Structure 1
């Protein structure tokens, strides 16, 4: 790798170990085996490098979860793609099972994300850097969980992605605060059924008649 790639990898490791505020330019240089001048030459500033490193870490987390879901689906249906024909609630639960399974080993990434969010009001450049990737993240969630192609159906992709992004953030916070009482994939599925008025057989009559 060249200095540009070395700096990015070093910045990613520093963020996971020290967090955003505590990572200095010298930390990145020491971790990457480069020099201070390389940061300005390749990225313009330490902040720009850290912002990109954070985005790469979240992308890698998303890719790892998606790969895990795909591998499980292929193992179960022999690569025939039958998992895409699962009932919606079962597909919902399976998807969230993979996400939640990743929380503990990905805790440093989520801890970092909470720190990043807390800095947005005082760092306009950071806010600008995250705006575009947030939209991309919604598209990725819509495609990953539901197979919605943003190009083919942009509005459905936007709405579904916004829903999953909101749910993802809320579940993440609960797991960070208290894993013992944080929701499981089954909890989320059963909660969704209650909100939608779906009874145990999935016909939607149970909640209304119970009310």
Structure 2
């Protein structure tokens, strides 16, 4: 690995251990085994490095989730079974990657003071929505982007809400079975109206 890759790997470790606000340039350089000047050379600012490291970590989480769901998915599984299985995997990731989720909420609170961060999150949100539509409903974004975005937005709202509940009180946060039961109830009510 070169200095740039070492810095990204070091920044990811620092984000997981210290969070976004508490991580300094010196922390990252020490963790990466590089000089402080390497941050400026490769990323211009520590904030730019941390932002890129966070988005890379989230992309890695998405790829990990995709692999797990592809490996576990039964082609004969119903939509309800796929929904519950996906939520089992997502909830498992909350325990493993709690600091990654905490950093995202930390940054959401700071977005009003950082247009660049807001713009980066908005672009990442759009990609996430399309990815969630594919994971949960096997919707091809290329074939129907409007529908994929709408469905993905629903799942992203659910993901953010469950993540927040899990971060605050993991013992009271909903399980995959509870989410499935609740969705079934809502769908039944919508269908009867």
Greater RCO, CA 8 A, separation 6+: 2
* SS of equivalent residue, structure 2 residue 109: helix
Structure 2 equivalent of residue 35 of structure 1? 35
1:92 lines up with 2:87 in the alignment = no
| Distance in 2, Cα, partners of 1:185 & 1:148 | 21
Q: TM-score, normalised by structure 2?
A: 0.94
Displacement after TM superposition at 1:85 (Å) = 4.1
Number of equivalences? 193
Structure 2 equivalent of residue 62 of structure 1? 62
Structure 1 equivalent of residue 101 of structure 2? 110
Deviations 1:17-55 (A, max 9, x none): 111111111111101011121111111211111100010
| Distance in 2, Cα, partners of 1:129 & 1:162 | 17
Displacement after TM superposition at 1:115 (Å) = 0.7
Q: Which ranges in structure 1 are unaligned for 5 or more consecutive residues?
A: 74-82, 199-203
Displacement after TM superposition at 1:87 (Å) = 2.1
Deviations 1:88-110 (A, max 9, x none): 22221121111112211111111
Q: Which ranges in structure 2 are unaligned for 5 or more consecutive residues?
A: none
* SS of equivalent residue, structure 1 residue 141: helix
Which is greater in Rg? 1
Displacement after TM superposition at 1:129 (Å) = 2.0
Structure 1 equivalent of residue 129 of structure 2? 138
| Distance in 1, Cα, partners of 2:122 & 2:158 | 18
| Distance in 1, Cα, partners of 2:108 & 2:27 | 22
Q: TM-score, normalised by structure 1?
A: 0.86
Alignment RMSD, CA only?
1.6
Displacement after TM superposition at 1:196 (Å) = 1.6
Displacement after TM superposition at 1:13 (Å) = 0.7
| Distance in 1, Cα, partners of 2:99 & 2:168 | 13
